[in-house]
Amino acid sequence: MARLFELVSICLARAYAMQGDRGNSRKAYDEFFTTWKDADPDIPILRQAKAEYKKLTATASAAASASGKKQ
């Protein structure tokens, strides 16, 4: 079972994402993944975090592409 402090970074990542702060959200996700790098990849919270991160980075890439096309 994860200790509470090991889950703080995922909570921060989600909070930053909800605020639209992609930069800090990505940093918090990266910290979470670093902490959990040796964990079983099938742990539900880790799988969920990876899916959220993928969505966050895909959204950021799409936004960057769209802003580049408008110029």
Compute the Cα dihedral for 40, 45, 49, 50 and give only its sign. positive
**Res 70: pLDDT:** 57
pLDDT of residue 2: 63
pTM metric for this prediction: 0.79
CA angle 52, 21, 63 (to 5 degrees): 75
pLDDT in tens, 5-43: 889 999 999 999 999 999 999 999 999 999 999 999 999
How far apart (Å, rounded) are the C-alpha atoms in residues 56 and 70?
A: 21
Is residue 29 within 8 Å of residue 52, measured between CB atoms? yes
Q: Using CA atoms, how far apart are residues 21 and 1, in angstroms rounded to an integer? A: 29
Quick one: pLDDT band at residue 63, thresholds 50, 70, 90?
low
